[in-house]
A and B are shown apart, each in its own frame.
Chain A
Amino acid sequence: MSEANRRAVFRLKRGVQPLVGLLIIYLVFTALSPTFRTFNTFKTILTQAVVLGTLSTGATIVLISGGLDLSIGSLFGLIAVITGLMLKANIPVGISIFSSLLFGALAGAFNGAIIVSTGIPAFIGTLGMMKVYRGFAEILGKNKDISQFPLSFQSIGQGYLMPISIMVITFLVAHIILSYTKLGFNCYAIGGSNEMSRRAGIPVKKYYLIYYMIGGISTAISAIILASRLNFTNSSWGLGLELNALGAVIIGGTSLTGGVGNIARTVIGVFIVTTLNTGLSHLGVSSSWQRISIGTVIIFAVWLDIIQRRREENA
């Protein structure tokens, strides 16, 4: 087998493993719980995956580029509050949504700008912004009841069809960006080797801004969907959500070190997490054990990834 073919097989194997994991988890719950194997539960899993799925899409692109954004949970809370406040101020739904998306894009780009302009590591820079966004969310949301939005806004996140469609479109757009555009090609190149990409003439800093901006937009999409779904917002929203998104992306097999991953893997990771939560609920397992199981799956997924990499290197 040629070197190129061998690498292709390894890549395929790495892609297949999370899918096999998801299938096994799904089939185990199907076998163990009669209430799990209903079409309604299947629809519920899809719906419950929407917020995490849309949020994880941007996180995937940032991770593949070799970046990391810890601020998305707090940004999620801030955008939810801003969207709610605009709606409560009777700003038309379309303008409120557009403004929130724009704010998400600018906030994401600002995160990127801090990292590329100062040289501060992404972990530290976005950790700082995590505090900044949370602080603003608390200031804006303090002592305010932000609820009861217009029906046209509620229709975005409620029911099955609309939120699932938004999630699928988000996945597709991200997939097209990563697989068929220069933006996507350079994302892998920069994530694989920042220095080599720079030497090859890729404007790395500019691209980082764009990748973080995409992360901000996907955060805004998920915050808007949840605000619509629950019909209220609160400044405490999104606490720890960045780690849930990172967990789902990593379980799917996207590398924390950049250069490896794709949206299909993240979709699988998101559905592994959501199926585990839902399936364990159906088996009457407490929320605490659900957390423990997801933590274990994250460790297992990364461990498998490491083994696979070693084999690839030794082959």
Chain B
Amino acid sequence: MNRALKRIVLFTVVFLCITGLVFAGGSKESQKTGKGKITIAYTGFPGGLTPFWAQMAKYMQEEADALGVKLIDLSPTTADANLQKQSVDNAIDMGVQGIIIGSIDNRAFGESLKKAGSKGIIISAVDTAIDDPNVKALAQTDNLASARLLGQYIVDHTSQKGKVLILGGTLGHQTGDARRDGVKQVLEGNGYEVIFRACDWDDKKAYETAINELDAHPDIVVVFGCWDPGALAGLAAVKEKGLLGKINVYGFDGLPAAFKSIKDGELTATIKQDNKQMAHVIMNTTVLLIKGQEPPVKRLLIPGVVVDKSNVDKFLEK
């Protein structure tokens, strides 16, 4: 009994001594990232959940390698806003000079961004804007304008009036809201009734929602998924109900799977986002800001391109 108690005391003392010693000398900036190389942390939407973000992580690494920047990928594996906020907190503690965030939910970071700002860490946002004064740069698709463009395309390519089902992202998420609003504004302006359902960027939820709504509203003439995997989930529901050819399905992202579906005559069209350009611009801008230089552009809105059967081959080749 006494021996065991002694062990507890011994371990506690050793623990306190060692942590005391390391805390005493552990806060030197030179020890943190070291070697004079710029270190940037990246935390994006989980790449395992959507190919768009898997590509984004790859492009980020390529850009970092090209610039000689050390990139630490702290992206969570699940679409959990709390985990992503924790990854930002960890990046701050790691003493990185910059953090690039492709947010799961852009409302989650307030306190962390304030802390990063006070430490002089450059924060940049990619794909989704974060409404915070500490965010110094943004590169994203002009979601609203691109969605309006797609909305007009839908109007031009839909012969009969009826209801339009929008399978959305997470409500309050800037990107998803902009895509919904852009399409909705044009369609409602042209006499269509829009049914919006938030699906939290969850493909399974998009599929189940589409099945239920197609049952409940036989007069749906168009399904629009705010992200390509969601659109493909909606397409699966349309096919399952035997409505392919009667209902047109549209997406947003420009992923290879969507292009293949367009080529096969199933998905009608999608908006191609240029995530390679986003990664290029945001990495270069962040590095320039870290170096104290003025970047050519701090807020880049990249126009999307409608991809349909007429031009899909051009994108498939890439």
Q: What 0/1 pattern do residues 74 to 109 of B give for CB contact below 8 A with A?
A: 111111011101110110111100000000010110
Contacting chain A: which of B26-34, B149-157, B244-252, B277-285?
A: B26-34
Whether the Cβ atoms of A159 and B4 lie closer than 8 Å is: no
Contact, CB under 8 Å: A278 / B90: yes
- Is A38 in contact with B86, judged by CB distance below 8 angstroms? no
Q: Mark B103-138, 1 if CB is under 8 A from A, else 0.
A: 001011011000000000000000000000000000
Nearest B residue (CB) for A235: B200
User: Which residue on A lies nearest to B18, using beta carbons?
Assistant: A27
Q: Which residues of A contact B7 (CB under 8 A)?
A: 16
- Does B191 reach chain A (CB closer than 8 Å)? no
B14 CB contacts on chain A under 8 angstroms: 23
Q: Which of A39, A230, A235 contacts B85 (CB 8 A)?
A: A230
Question: Is residue A34 within 8 Å, beta carbon to beta carbon, of the partner chain?
Answer: yes
Per-residue contact bits, chain A 29-46, to B (CB 8 Å; 1 contact, 0 not): 010001111111110100
Interface residues in A155-203 by Cβ distance below 8 A to B read 158-159
- Chain A residue numbers with a CB within 8 Å of B27 are 38-40
A23→B93 contact, CB < 8 A: no
Q: Is the CB of A231 within 8 A of B95?
A: no
Say yes or no: B93 contacts A16, CB within 8 Å: no
In the bound complex, residues from chain A placing their C-beta under 8 Å from that of B22 are: 30, 37
- Residues of chain A with a CB closer than 8 A to B170's CB: 234
Q: CB distance B82 to A51 under 8 Å?
A: yes
The verdict on A158 contacting B111 (CB below 8 Å), with A12-B4, A38-B23, A40-B93 known, is yes
Please indicate the chain A residues that have their CB under 8 angstroms from the CB of B26 in the complex.
Answer: 34, 37-39
B198 within 8 A of A: yes
Whether B5 is near chain A, meaning CB under 8 Å from some CB there, is yes
Main SS class of interface, A: helix
A20 touching B11 in the complex, CB below 8 Å, given contacts A38-B27, A38-B93, A236-B202? yes
**Contact status of A42 and B77, CB under 8 A, knowing A12-B5, A281-B90, A284-B72:** no
Q: How far is the CB of A152 from chain B (nearest CB, A)?
A: 15
Which of the candidate stretches A112-120, A141-149, A209-217, A297-305 sits at the interface with the other chain? Answer: A141-149
Known: A16-B7, A20-B11, A34-B26. A230 touches B1 (CB 8 A): no
Report how far A286 CA is from B46 CA in the complex, Å.
11
A132 at the A/B interface (Cβ < 8 Å)?
A: no
Residue with the highest number of chain A CB atoms closer than 10 Å, among B33, B85, B94: B94
Q: Is the CB of A230 within 8 A of B15?
A: no
Q: Mark A69-94, 1 if CB is under 8 A from B, else 0.
A: 00000000000000000000000000
Residue on B nearest A279 in the bound complex, by CB: B90
Q: Are B1 and A8 in contact (CB under 8 A)?
A: yes
Give the distance in Å from the alpha carbon of A35 to the alpha carbon of B90 in the complex. 10
Query: CB-CB contacts of A251-294 with B at 8 A, as 1s and 0s?
Result: 00000000000000000000000000110011010111001000
> Which residue on A lies nearest to B85, using beta carbons?
A230
Asked if residues A26 and B15 are in contact (CB atoms below 8 Å), the reply is yes
Closest chain B residue, CB of each to CB of A226: B82
Q: How far is the CA of A306 from the CA of B150 in the complex (A)?
A: 61
CB of B295 within 8 Å of the partner chain: no
Instruction: Assess the B105–A232 pair: CB atoms within 8 A.
Output: yes
Indicate whether A205 reaches chain B with its CB closer than 8 angstroms. no
A277: chain B residues at CB < 8 Å are 86
| Neighbouring A residues of B90 by C-beta, 8 Å | 41, 44, 278, 281-282
Closest to B48 in A: A288
* Minimal Cβ-Cβ distance residue in A for B177: A145
A57 located at the interface, meaning its Cβ lies under 8 Å from any Cβ of chain B in the complex: no
A211 to chain B, nearest CB (A): 27
Report chain A residues within 8 Å CB of B76. 287
Which B residues are in CB contact (< 8 Å) with A281? 74, 87, 90, 94
The number of chain A residues with a CB under 8 A from chain B is 53
A37 touches B89 (CB 8 A): no
Give Cα A20 to B27, complex, Å: 26
Query: Could you tell me if B94 and A282 are in contact, using CB atoms closer than 8 angstroms?
Result: yes
CB-defined contacts of B82 to chain A, threshold 8 Å:
51, 226, 229-230
Residues of A near B293 (CB, < 8 A) are none
Which residues of chain A are near B108, meaning CB under 8 Å?
230-232
B196 to chain A, nearest CB (A): 7
**Nearest neighbor of B34 in chain A, beta-carbon distance:** A34
A9 CB-CB contact with B under 8 Å? yes
Measured CB to CB, the closest approach of chain B to A262, in angstroms, equals: 15
Q: Is the CB of B1 within 8 A of A159?
A: no
Cβ of A19 within 8 Å of any chain B Cβ, yes or no, is yes
A9 pairs with B4, CB closer than 8 A: yes
Q: Does any Cβ of B come within 8 Å of A47's Cβ?
A: yes
Nearest to B7 among chain A residues (CB) is A16
As a 0/1 sequence over residues 24 to 57 of chain B, the CB contacts with chain A under 8 angstroms (1 = contact) are 0011000111100000000000101000000000
B36 nearest CB across to chain A (Å): 15
A42: B residues at CB distance < 8 A: 19, 23
CA of A231 to CA of B81 in the docked complex: distance in angstroms?
Answer: 11
List 25 contacting pairs A-B, 8 Å CB cutoff, sorted by A: A12-B1, A13-B4, A16-B4, A27-B15, A27-B18, A30-B18, A30-B22, A35-B95, A36-B93, A40-B93, A41-B93, A44-B90, A142-B198, A143-B197, A147-B107, A226-B82, A229-B82, A230-B105, A232-B81, A232-B105, A234-B105, A281-B74, A282-B93, A284-B73, A287-B74
List of 5 A-B pairs having minimum Cβ-Cβ separation, nearest first: A145-B172, A37-B22, A37-B26, A34-B31, A287-B77
Given contacts A9-B1, A9-B4, 13 further A-B pairs with CB under 8 A are A13-B4, A23-B14, A27-B18, A37-B19, A48-B89, A147-B107, A148-B107, A158-B110, A230-B82, A231-B108, A231-B110, A232-B107, A278-B93
